[in-house]
Amino acid sequence: MALIERQSIVEGLIRILGKENVITDEQVLKESSLDRYRKYEQVCEVYTQPIPAAVVYVHSTEEVADVLKFANEYQINIVPRTGHSAIEGGLETALENSVVVDGSQMNKVLKVDQYNMQVTCQCGVPLQDLDDMLREQGYTTGHSPQSKPLAQMGGLVATRSIGQFSTLYGGIEDMVVGLEAVFPNGKICRIKNVPRRSVGPDIRNIIIGNEGALCYITEVTVKIFKYRPENNQFMGYTLDNMKTGFEVLREVMVEGYKPSIARLYDPADGAMSFSHFAAPGKCVLIFTTEGPAAIAEATAAGIKEIVVRYDECEAVDPKYIEKWFSHLNWGPEQIAQEREEIKATQNIGITTEVSGCWDCIYEIYDTARRRIMEEVPDITLIGGHSSHSYINGTNMYFVYYYNIVDCPPEEEINKYHNLINRIICEQVVQYGGSIAHHHGLGKARARYVHEEYGSSFYMLDTLKKAFDPNGIMNMGTLIPLRK
């Protein structure tokens, strides 16, 4: 708990940032107390989390440092925020009189370095704007999560984000070159931009994925790549079962091919996007290749050689896949439409993403899906897809819908969402996978952090105690609050 009262917190922040940058409007504070993990509460405008003392806008690294030093002195919980697109509770203000520090106005692209193939920008630069600008110059970040129209660079790095083209370009951790971050005591740390170092642990990874629980990311440098959309190759197939699909994905990865997209949908999930070409009960397998023409064509040819050996895989017109490819992302319009649909139907869709090695991913998928069907009331759909593959395994992105039946908004989270998350996490832990692939732990899955980390939890706990001894950084995220 903060050492000073709410009014004194606000007055102190005004002294640092000016009155115009300290927001205390009640509705803004309520909306800033949660993220899209509590989607139904958002839709119903029911706010069950402690309302923050203020939302503040910072414009420089130095201002971030001043705010954190103030918070550290008076033990005020800080929730770092940029694009506000989080969906795992990482932006919930779990403690009374928290302060949301919003970096969205730190939105300058500082340098596009075409010779060294990297771009440096402040934390609040929107990914969509950055990539649009780069593409006009013939480049791309290669990073394209579904939240691309909403997400900003600081949050993407903080949550260890991954994009839909990750099988070629990698996750955000593969793209980050250097960083600047501010720690709770106000210390500003900069990690220089070099292609690789062998000088001890890779300290970038203390910052990447810290979810605002260790520090506040203020600046990011990421790689850029040549953008050649005219060379894209599209392939799609229908098949009878997920086991076969996982085998195809595995063989493609083990043979060393690098498609930008490699996806496998089960019948339930596939029916939502591909019913125009996939018969009921069919799975859908999708590949996209890109890059220099010779590489894109050779990669596509190699994948086709693999798929043709599986008799149950039937090719579909590539134009279907190309059309799907052009509508991958969700922006404000889609979110607003979803909110209206939830209000009208009382049916809500949620996702949970996990990962596992090739020898366990099917069991994770199958057992979690079966348990959800048996144990969760009012389920209207449970399915999923694999969308990010590696030489040693893949992810599973569960998609589920349920009707809200005789349930007040403040009870929905435990009756449905938390229950489904628990089932999935239990099955993942049982089979040795990871309980979060790219959305982060947030506060929603932090309760399973000990099972996830095992004996290595000592390392995470030590980092938290060392860098945040007064416990001011996004408490309850990564490491759950002690009850």
> What is the full DSSP assignment across 328-391?
----HHHHHHHHHHHHHH-EEEEEEEEEEETTTHHHHHHHHHHHHHHHSTTEEEEEEEE--EET
Please report, as a single letter, which amino acid is at residue 437: H
Give pLDDT, residue 1: 79
- Annotate 383-435 with DSSP letters as a single string: EEEE--EETTEEEEEEEEEEE--S--HHHHIIIIIHHHHHHHHHHHHHHT-BS
As a whole number of angstroms, the distance between CA 142 and CA 451 comes to 33
Give pLDDT, residue 330: 87
Selection from 142, 126, 18, 52 nearest residue 82 by Cα = 126
The Cβ-side half-sphere exposure at 259, using a 13 Å CA radius, reads 29
Give pLDDT, residue 466: 98
Give pLDDT, residue 483: 65
Q: What's the residue count for the chain?
A: 483
Q: Report yes or no: 421 and 439 within 8 Å, Cβ to Cβ.
A: no
pTM summary value: 0.96
Per-residue pLDDT tens listing for the chain (483 residues): 799 999 999 999 999 999 999 999 999 999 999 999 999 999 999 999 999 999 999 999 999 999 999 999 999 999 999 999 999 999 999 999 999 999 999 999 999 999 999 999 999 999 999 999 999 999 999 999 999 999 999 999 999 999 999 999 999 999 999 999 999 999 999 999 999 999 999 999 999 999 999 999 999 999 999 999 999 999 999 999 999 999 999 999 999 999 999 999 999 999 999 999 999 999 999 999 999 999 999 999 999 999 999 999 999 999 999 999 998 898 899 999 999 999 999 999 999 999 999 999 999 999 999 999 999 999 999 999 999 999 999 999 999 999 999 999 999 999 999 999 999 999 999 999 999 999 999 999 999 999 999 999 999 999 999 999 999 999 999 999 986
- DSSP class of residue 86 equals -
- In sequence order, the β-bridge partners of residue 250 are none
- In sequence order, the β-bridge partners of residue 356 are 394
Give pLDDT, residue 160: 97
As a whole number of angstroms, the distance between CA 47 and CA 53 comes to 15
